[in-house]
Amino acid sequence: MTTRSSDGEAACGRPADLPRLYGPTPDTGRDSLWDELRERHGPVAAVELEPGVRAWLLLGYRENLTVLQSPHLFSRDTRRWREVIEGRVDLSAARPTLSWRPNVLYADDAEHTRLRTPIVSALSRVDMAAAARDVRRIADGLIDAFIADGEADLIGGFADPLPVLVLNRLYGLPDGYGHMLGDLTGVVFGDDARRAEDAVVRIQQYFAGLVARKRSAPGHDLASWMLEHANGLTDHEVAHQAALMNSAGHLPTTHLIGNTMHTLLTDERIRAAHADARLSVRELLDHVMWTDTPFQVLPARFALQDVRIGAAEVRAGDALLIGFDPAHRDPAVRRGREETGVVSGARAHLMFGAGPHACPARELARLIAATGVSALHERLAGLRPAVDPVLLRRVPSPFVRGLAVLPVEFTPGEPGPRPAADPEPAPGPDAEEAPREESDDLLGRLFAWWWSLRR
């Protein structure tokens, strides 16, 4: 039990005494840690997020939901974090998930509404039927690149590029720019800190260049729709909201696809139910979001006043980590399994959040994941793991839950014919032509730089 010393500071012992959320992720994941913490501390536990940086981890489903739905008690603005106010954390040097950006994710109250409304409005203008066809064309193009080989890594060759290519098209750009953005995003979340810093700058250039291009030549796309919204966001603000769509939608959707395919490959009962049409792909996704959620921990909310949660005495300014994966393992909400082996009450999972910060693009994410899983299931005959599943490595992140690679084998096939009416090029990484000299705006120069690295 965490106690308070007379001066009000948390008496959790030395940082080394706290459970650590940093460092290598066990191959088996962190499920045993969540269970151990719940048994020892109840629904809330003190943890060390980074060396010397403490936070509360919400383990209970009800506690997570309460914090998500109570913006009057818990802020999303990292500048309210006591570790920042007292100088122990520098937001400018923090990892992206713990920094501050002028986007809706870090805003509260009226500012949150001002920034969120143009995003919701732009997403509502997406033609979902047309988007579904576009997602399938992109998915088929990615599959065409490896189907003749009879083997592939479903993460690197499919699940990772698919979401960012879809988002890039919704920004109104050719596929080559999407491959560039995907490459840069991968570097940001890689192990090389120096390259990650440079990639963050390049991604900022991508979105600044995107907005500048759409300001001068508007189109039928998300960036143009946000620019024309009555709330009058500045170009700088629109660039940050567009960048948030990518950062919030890329890796979670990647690992939703990857975790779903892993479930199909390793759970015979689920695979049989899906093959027999007793389990739709949408139901399958919800099952995976309960049992193998791509977001295991989400940073963070910050207490606006002293409050008691479970047995924890939370002080104003304390950080509370949203524990999606621990919440889904909470015995109080653990669901029984039907004959298909699927958890019941599946739509109550917390994958897309809750309250005012709930993900506004959840239907688009579901569409991308469902279409991607269906395309793989339909086109890759005899799909099977290429290695023993127990050897698969998870990504080394306290926040994201997914596989670094998912190697598979299947019966070699033929690339599909490209529809005559399809004006888009195949979305392979080399499909985009070298940039033309007249593309001399910021985005064009960035693409020329990236293209030169590939040659």
Lowest mean pLDDT among 69-83, 86-100, 298-312, 318-332: 86-100
Condensed to tens digits (0 to 9), the pLDDT of residues 215-232 reads: 999 999 999 999 999 999
Q: Looking at residues 79-107, what average pLDDT do you find? A: 86
Q: Looking at residues 290-315, what average pLDDT do you find? A: 93
**C-alpha to C-alpha distances, 302 to 123, 172, 296, 336, nearest whole angstrom:** 28, 36, 18, 34
Q: Which residues pair with 57 in a beta bridge?
A: 45, 321
Q: Cβ neighbours of residue 231 under 8 Å, at least 6 residues apart?
A: 114, 115, 117, 118
Lowest mean pLDDT among 64-68, 215-219, 224-228, 389-393: 389-393
Q: Does the pLDDT of residue 416 top 90, yes or no?
A: no
Q: Looking at residues 48-60, what average pLDDT do you find? A: 91
Mean pLDDT for all residues in the chain: 87
Label residues 245-268 b or e (16+ Cβ within 10 Å = b). Answer: bbbbbbbbbbbbbbbbbbbbbebe
The pLDDT value recorded for residue 435 is 54
pLDDT: is 226 or 414 the higher one?
Answer: 226
Q: Does the pLDDT of residue 25 top 50, yes or no?
A: yes
Condensed to tens digits (0 to 9), the pLDDT of residues 325-363 reads: 999 999 988 765 554 445 545 668 999 999 999 999 999
Q: Looking at residues 424-451, what average pLDDT do you find? A: 68
Measured CA to CA, the distance from residue 222 to residue 390 in angstroms comes to: 41
Label residues 355-377 b or e (16+ Cβ within 10 Å = b). Answer: ebbeebbeebbbbbbbbbbbbbb
Q: Does the pLDDT of residue 97 top 70, yes or no?
A: no
Q: Looking at residues 296-315, what average pLDDT do you find? A: 94
Within its chain, how far is the Cα of 134 from the centroid?
21
Condensed to tens digits (0 to 9), the pLDDT of residues 107-157 reads: 999 999 999 999 999 999 999 999 999 999 999 999 999 999 999 999 999
Lookup result for tokens 């996704």: 285
Q: Looking at residues 360-387, what average pLDDT do you find? A: 96
Could you report how far apart the first and last alpha carbons of the chain are, in Å? Answer: 58
The pLDDT value recorded for residue 195 is 82
Residue 221 near residue 238 (C-beta atoms within 8 A): no
Residue 224 near residue 241 (C-beta atoms within 8 A): no
Measured CA to CA, the distance from residue 197 to residue 414 in angstroms comes to: 41
